[in-house]
């Protein structure tokens, strides 16, 4: 007999829809549930049917205390996915916001930026966790960071024109070039609009990276927005897996399960290298453009007109890596992206990323990441629960 499960997950965001995709993948593999899904947005009030609903389990992205209370009152097993607050009494799975913040910092740090900013939403736990990790990573690297916060919703939220005016003033207040992380893609669009109003060039003066990799938002912006990719599908899959165990009488835990992000989708808003050495900046640009066609260091030196010894010395100075390590770094990032976002087998991924033989790609990937390509893909899909 199939179990009746309610999904209280917003369908109005790309993140919520990817969470649902992960839940659906679990259902297809197990065929044990009959599901009720209500069309929702992030701030919708608790559904009235919860008071009389007689089901077996709930997965909820409950974004308000009222909804948490209503869901908890049903008494059925519940897995909570919200990232706006943390209720220690509920089994919880969510994206690892600290890892997202650190990844957001690594992206402009790799491009040689010295000055940084974080643009977030005040009172949103997920934004504050990302901010803390971003600022910490930047300061650990010996750089400075400024922070801008304002309310997203509610009585403290400013009118659009006033908010953009203040944001423009903040962006124009510190020396450039500067790398800015926005707490999500919506905030990233706010930053890009403020740059436009201020007449600042993106990415030459201000490089911007968001979070969520919402394809529509990222590509409708001008220029297209780079974005950290949370593994929302794995959040959904692991939530379904956990709920299944709870409905079987398994024990729950008060510690949230955190799902690491997949990487950064690089678009035009960060397609720049903030290095004051024009030859080294050109070399890095050439590597990032051509690494996945089997690039050799000699080709880089010929294209840029620089000696190998100078390239080696300057890359170690700016990035702490050799030219060959930087080529491998770009290749492995592409491998990770294709493993995470496609169904292509390793035999097809290898030549797309500059590896002549899949076996060698396997060796390099395991050396760099600590896992096999197949193991990485399973982890991305949430089929190996993080301990």
- The domains located in the chain, with CATH, are 3-95+232-260 (3.40.50.2300), 97-230+264-270 (3.40.50.2300), 278-371 (1.10.10.60)
Residue 277's pLDDT is: 79
Helix (H, G, I), strand (E, B) or coil at 193: helix
The model's confidence at residue 122, banded by pLDDT at 50, 70 and 90, is very high
Confidence label for 239 from pLDDT (cuts 50, 70 and 90): very high
Q: What's the whole-number mean pLDDT along residues 119-138?
A: 96
Q: Is the pLDDT score of 221 beyond 70?
A: yes
Judge whether 70 and 53 are in contact, CB under 8 Å.
Answer: no
Average pLDDT for 35-44: 74
Residue 254 has pLDDT above 80, yes or no: no
Q: Is pLDDT larger for residue 278 or for residue 207?
A: 207
Q: What would the pLDDT profile of 206-220 be if each residue is shown by its tens digit?
A: 999 999 999 889 988
| Tokens matching residue 255 | 């510690």
Decide if pLDDT at 253 tops 80: no
Distance of CA 307 to the CA centre of its chain: 37
Do 22 and 15 touch, CB atoms closer than 8 A? no
What percent of the chain is predicted at pLDDT more than 70?
94
Q: In the predicted model, is pLDDT for residue 258 greater than 90?
A: yes
Would you state the pLDDT for residue 56? Answer: 92
**Average of pLDDT values for 185-201?**
94
Predicted pLDDT at 386: 45
Residue pair 188/209 in contact by the 8 Å Cβ criterion: yes
150 falls in which pLDDT band (50, 70, 90)?
Answer: very high
- Where would I find the beta strands (DSSP E) of the chain? 3-8, 33-37, 57-60, 78-80, 93-95, 115-121, 144-150, 178-182, 206-211, 226-229, 257-259, 263-265
- Check whether 110 has a pLDDT greater than 90: no
Confidence tier at 323 by pLDDT (50, 70, 90): very high
Which candidate, 210, 190, 183, 151, places its Cα nearest to that of 198? Answer: 190
The confidence score (pLDDT) of residue 385 equals 44
pLDDT for residue 29: 86
Q: Classify each residue of 174-192 as buried b or exposed e, where b means 16 or more C-beta atoms within 10 Å of its C-beta.
A: eebbbbbbbbbbbbbbbbb
pLDDT above 80: residue 278: no
Could you tell me the two tokens for 39?
């069309």
Q: Please give the average per-residue pLDDT across 118-137, as a whole number.
A: 96
> In terms of pLDDT, which residue wins out, 77 or 73?
77
What distance in Å separates the CA atoms of residue 236 and residue 9, rounded to the nearest whole number? 10
Mean pLDDT of 302-321: 91
Q: What integer pLDDT is reported at residue 32 of this predicted model?
A: 83
DSSP classification of residue 270: G
64: left (phi over 0), alpha (psi -120 to 50) or beta: beta
Query: What is the structure's pLDDT at 222?
Result: 85
Give mean pLDDT, residues 168-182: 93
Q: What is the SS3 assignment for 100? A: helix
Q: What is the pLDDT of residue 43?
A: 66
The mean per-residue pLDDT over the stretch 55-72 comes to 79
Structure confidence at residue 387 (pLDDT):
40
Beta bridge partners of 117: 146, 180
């Amino acid at each position: 007999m199939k179990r009746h499960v309610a999904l209280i997950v917003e369908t109005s965001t790309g993140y919520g829809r990817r969470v649902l995709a992960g839940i659906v993948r679990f259902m297809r593999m197990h065929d044990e549930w009959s599901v009720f899904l209500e069309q929702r947005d992030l701030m919708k009030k608790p559904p009235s049917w919860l008071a009389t609903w007689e089901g077996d389990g709930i997965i909820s992205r409950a974004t308000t205390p009222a909804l948490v209370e209503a869901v908890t009152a049903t008494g059925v097993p519940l897995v909570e996915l919200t990232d706006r607050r943390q209720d220690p009494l509920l089994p919880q799975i969510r994206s690892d916001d600290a890892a997202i913040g650190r990844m957001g910092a690594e992206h402009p740090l790799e491009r040689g930026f010295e000055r940084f900013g974080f643009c977030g939403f005040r009172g949103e736990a997920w934004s504050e966790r990302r901010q803390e990790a971003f600022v910490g990573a930047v300061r650990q690297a010996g750089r400075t960071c400024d922070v801008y916060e304002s309310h997203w919703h509610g009585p403290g939220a400013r009118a659009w024109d006033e908010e953009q005016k203040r944001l423009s003033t903040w962006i124009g207040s510190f020396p450039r070039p500067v790398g800015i992380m926005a707490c999500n893609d919506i905030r990233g669009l706010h930053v890009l609009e403020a740059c436009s109003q201020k007449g600042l060039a993106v990415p030459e003066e201000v490089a911007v990276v968001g979070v969520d990799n919402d394809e529509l938002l990222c590509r409708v912006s001008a220029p297209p927005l780079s974005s950290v990719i949370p593994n929302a599908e794995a959040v959904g899959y692991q939530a379904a897996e956990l709920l299944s165990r709870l409905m079987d009488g398994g024990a729950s835990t008060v510690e949230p399960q955190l799902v690491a992000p997949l990487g950064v989708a690089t678009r035009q808003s960060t397609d720049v290298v903030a290095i004051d050495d024009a030859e080294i900046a050109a070399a890095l640009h050439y590597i990032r453009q051509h690494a996945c066609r089997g690039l050799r260091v000699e080709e880089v030196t010929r294209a840029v007109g620089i000696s190998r010894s100078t390239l080696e010395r300057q890359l170690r100075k700016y990035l702490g890596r050799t030219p060959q390590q930087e080529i491998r770094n770009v290749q492995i990032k592409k491998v990770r992206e294709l493993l995470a976002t496609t169904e292509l087998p390793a035999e097809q991924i290898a030549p797309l990323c500059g590896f002549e033989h899949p076996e060698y790609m396997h060796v390099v990937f395991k050396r760099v990441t600590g896992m096999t390509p197949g193991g990485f893909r399973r982890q991305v899909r949430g089929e190996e629960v993080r301990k």
